[in-house]
Amino acid sequence: MPLHLRRSLKPSILGALASLLIACGGSTAPSDTPADQGMAPAPEGASAPPTAAEPAAAQASEPVFEAEMIGPLTKEVPLQIVSVFSYEAGEQLISPATEVAAFVAEARTKQGYGKEPLKTLLVEPTPASIKASRLLVIAWGPRAEFSLERVKEVGRAAMRETLKAGVVEMAYAPIARDQGVTTLPAEDVAKAFVEGALSEFLAAQRADRADPKKPLALKHVTYEAGPAFIDAVKKAIPLGVAAAHGK
């Protein structure tokens, strides 16, 4: 074939090939992105992206504390905890302290229950008039000894008993005002209880990590408050959490 004919055919052949590639969805231009870019390995030393379970595990590392406008007689919960003072002749009680005191009347009036702070009493069988599965009472001690430090101690005791019970949810009602003790603001009592309870949980969590046996089951703690105090208590709950974390 003459030289000038070969030169004229070469561009036309290349053009035909280009047209064929475009028609098939290809490209004649080089790609800036490697075909396997989405599967490229992470740089050495880079951390792997978190799995879907990791954020949930972080959130579940400690129980959620929440205030609710409800009483200990009507809360449906695996474990309901309340606190009572020692019996005093002529004491003036209002509901729900009236009902709770009736559940432990013999222990308080005849056996002196309530005088020894932090002593626990599981009411068995669970009273049919309440909706909780179990009712645990923790003694405040004498009314004259009521203090924020005592509230923190009760919070720690409540958490110890809750972890021992292995329940996923616990509710607590101080019912101190319903027993005639109004010396401390309701929000300060709530903050102190949460601080004590969460501090105890964190200590148990550290011990569990050092000597793992089984994961701590508790996920939720409800602090019960009446209509007059619920707003203040709701604001106090996160302050108690922060205090437990040393913030």
Q: Is residue 87 part of a domain?
A: yes
Q: Is residue 25 part of a domain?
A: no
Q: Are β-strands 79-85 and 169-173 bridged in parallel, bridged antiparallel, or unpaired?
A: parallel
Q: Is residue 32 part of a domain?
A: no
User: What is the reported pLDDT for 36?
Assistant: 40
pLDDT at residue 145 above 80?
yes
Domain that holds residue 127: 59-244
Per-residue pLDDT tens digits for 167-188: 999 999 999 999 999 999 999 9
Q: Is residue 175 part of a domain?
A: yes
> What are the C-alpha distances in Å from 194 to residues 116, 151, 180, 211?
22, 9, 22, 25
The number of distinct structural domains making up the chain is 1
**DSSP H/E element including 222:** strand 220-224
Query: Does the predicted TM-score (pTM) go above 0.85?
Result: no
Per-residue pLDDT tens digits for 119-138: 999 999 999 999 999 999 99
Q: Is residue 170 part of a domain?
A: yes
Residue 75 corresponds to which tokens in the numbers above?
């809360």
Q: Give, as one character, the DSSP assignment of residue 40.
A: P
pLDDT at residue 163 above 60?
yes
User: What is the reported pLDDT for 210?
Assistant: 66
- Output the domain CATH number for residue 168: 3.40.220.10
The answer to whether 160 and 170 are in contact (CB under 8 A) is no
Q: Is residue 153 part of a domain?
A: yes
User: What is the reported pLDDT for 247?
Assistant: 77
Q: Which amino acid is at 174?
A: P
The answer to whether 210 and 158 are in contact (CB under 8 A) is no
Per-residue pLDDT tens digits for 76-110: 999 999 999 999 999 999 999 999 999 999 999 99
Q: Is residue 39 part of a domain?
A: no
Nearest to 173 by CA among 155, 160, 156, 185: 155
Q: Is residue 70 part of a domain?
A: yes
User: What is the reported pLDDT for 214?
Assistant: 73
Convert 41-81 into a string of H (helix), E (strand) and C (coil): CCCCCCCCCCCCHHHHHHHCCCCEEEEECCCCCCCCCCEEE
